Structure 1
Amino acid sequence: MLPAQWRPARAVVRRSAGSWTLQSTLHRHGLGPVAGVDEAGRGACAGPLVVAACVLRPGDGKRLAGLTDSKLLSPAVREEFHRLITRHAEDYAVVVIPPAEVDRRGVHAANIQGMRRAVAGLAGPPGYVLTDGFPVRGFGRPALAVPKGDQVAACVAAASVLAKVTRDRIMVELDARLPQYGFALHKGYCTPVHAAALAEFGPSAEHRYSFVNVSGAAAIRAAVEDAEALVHNGDLMPEAVSAESAVAGGVEL
């Protein structure tokens, strides 16, 4: 261990000093550029998981004043920040992970892998990586998990905006193709409106079948379709065909 007089002064970061303080402190200690990483769609049962990494220019605090967690911003403000970030950021990368990959890997594993891919997709390797909430290894660079990172660190907030706006745009496009689910309204999250659409129409190819509500809806829909086939063949009375009767009939969820 180095003698006390040879050790560098401890870097003190005060949360009250603003969301650019952590990035600025790391830069001052020669650990830049600093990449923030965040995702959108982790809890949704339909649509992709989107992960973004972003490196902001140290002097852009004034230009991006008010930047924070994308969920705390209105859609119009998010879109404006997305425009500013994509125009002025030093570097950024966005990774879109389709539902089938989320199902195959699991949400958490897909998220971690997406974060690594997003950082690897930057034009140049960062000196340091900040993640939102939980620690992630495998960046090939020092990394720090920051509680409420998208409210504390501007580069993480920027990544959250990039991920959220990208994903919302995808869900609006899916809504045009699959209007019965209302994706433009709820963006694939498990709202009562979405649950009602799942019960009525069953899940689509854009749903995540590893989620219990989706797999349950798929099982019910399959039971109803089997019953409808029996009705068509004259082996079952029509009044027996409904989602409720499928559940009562012992469909395993």
Structure 2
Amino acid sequence: MLAPQRTVIRRGSGMYGLEQALRRRGFRRIAGADEAGRGACAGPLVVAAAVLPAGKRGEIPGLADSKLLTAAARERVYDEVVARAEAYEIVVIGPTEVDVRGLHVCNVAGMRRAFARLAPAPDYVLTDGFPVDGVGVPGLAVWKGDRVAACVAAASVLAKVTRDRMMTELAQRWPQYGFAEHKGYVTPVHSAALEQHGPCPEHRFSYVNVAAVADRADPAVRRLRPALPASTLLLADAGEA
């Protein structure tokens, strides 16, 4: 990611201030990216990127970090982002790819894919928390970006709503795990289901809690998943991200 110059943000500009400051420096199309499902032990990692228009049209009512919104509010904001965005892209990375390539590698690759598919292309990118190189335009990694940059917050909502819908659909195929309730994160219900049934193809075998019960999976499922050394296993998250 190319190093940015110092950017001055005007007081009181809220989560639109960073993009406004970048536009004053001549950047017109500013894309933000974020992901959902990073801490889950089941289901896909979903990455989204979004470019919001300048001015009032880009001020999305109720926009905030997706984790701070209710499910109903996220759905409303999702519809507004889809209707107003100059461009947006959603990338879905399945659990097998996460197991084989690694979570962070998939996260970065997903953001690159999302940025590359935006049309028109952005001329500046913002990411939540960590830098993403290889995009070809200047960019900035913003700590808690989904709370301070509107385009990153918009991407977080796109990713979260998309993933939640997918997990609800997966619950119909695998009702014994309760995916519609916990969306693949660690809860007492999910842990009990893993203990009773073992993991299904939608689980991430690179996570400690799934690997611990991998021997209870259907043999056909085990054959499809890579054998992973203990040193590479990840801890699942009880929260949503």
Whether these two folds match at TM > 0.5 is yes
1:170 to 2:152 alignment: no
Output the TM-score relative to the length of structure 1: 0.81
> Residues 29-48 of structure 1: CA distance to partner in whole angstroms, max 9, x if unpaired?
11221000000000000000
The partner residue of 2:89 within 93, 114, 127 is 93
Query: Which one is further off, 15-24 or 93-102?
Result: 15-24
For 2:107, the equivalent position in structure 1 comes to 111
> How many angstroms does 1:17 deviate by?
2.5
**Separation (CA, whole Å) in 1 of partners of 2:166 and 2:134:** 28
> Residues 71-124 of structure 1: CA distance to partner in whole angstroms, max 9, x if unpaired?
000000000000011111000000000001001111000000000000011012
> How many angstroms does 1:183 deviate by?
0.2
**Separation (CA, whole Å) in 2 of partners of 1:186 and 1:158:** 22
1:48 to 2:37 alignment: no
Contact 2:126 2:141 in 1 (8 A): yes
Contact 1:15 1:152 in 2 (8 A): no
Contact 2:52 2:58 in 1 (8 A): no
**Structure 1 regions of 5+ residues with no counterpart?**
1-8, 226-253
Contact 1:20 1:61 in 2 (8 A): no
Contact 1:37 1:53 in 2 (8 A): yes
For 1:77, the equivalent position in structure 2 comes to 73
**Separation (CA, whole Å) in 2 of partners of 1:11 and 1:67:** 23
| 1:236-247 superposed matches below 5 A | none
Contact 2:7 2:21 in 1 (8 A): yes
- Partner secondary structure for residue 35 of structure 1: strand
**Separation (CA, whole Å) in 1 of partners of 2:93 and 2:179:** 17
Q: 1:144 to 1:96 in 2, by over 3 A?
A: same
Structure having greater relative contact order (Cα 8 Å, sep ≥ 6): 2
- Partner secondary structure for residue 32 of structure 2: strand
Q: Which runs of 4+ in 1 moved over 2 A?
A: 14-17, 60-63
- Partner secondary structure for residue 109 of structure 2: helix
**Separation (CA, whole Å) in 2 of partners of 1:186 and 1:124:** 36
For 1:142, the equivalent position in structure 2 comes to 138
> How many angstroms does 1:163 deviate by?
0.2
Give 1 or 2 for the bigger CA radius of gyration: 1
> How many angstroms does 1:62 deviate by?
7.2
For 1:244, the equivalent position in structure 2 comes to none
- Partner secondary structure for residue 213 of structure 2: helix
Q: 1:199 to 1:15 in 2, by over 3 A?
A: farther
**Separation (CA, whole Å) in 2 of partners of 1:193 and 1:28:** 50
Output the TM-score relative to the length of structure 2: 0.85
**1:194 partner letter:** H
Aligned CA RMSD, in angstroms, stands at 1.8
Contact 2:35 2:45 in 1 (8 A): yes
What's the % identity of the aligned pairs?
61
**Separation (CA, whole Å) in 2 of partners of 1:126 and 1:42:** 25
**Separation (CA, whole Å) in 1 of partners of 2:148 and 2:202:** 33
The partner residue of 2:118 within 107, 119, 122 is 122
For 1:193, the equivalent position in structure 2 comes to 189
- Partner secondary structure for residue 140 of structure 2: strand
Query: Which one is further off, 56-65 or 144-153?
Result: 56-65
> How many angstroms does 1:66 deviate by?
2.7
1:37 to 2:33 alignment: yes
**Separation (CA, whole Å) in 1 of partners of 2:153 and 2:140:** 15
Contact 2:177 2:194 in 1 (8 A): yes
Aligned length: 215
**Structure 2 regions of 5+ residues with no counterpart?**
220-241
For 2:63, the equivalent position in structure 1 comes to 67
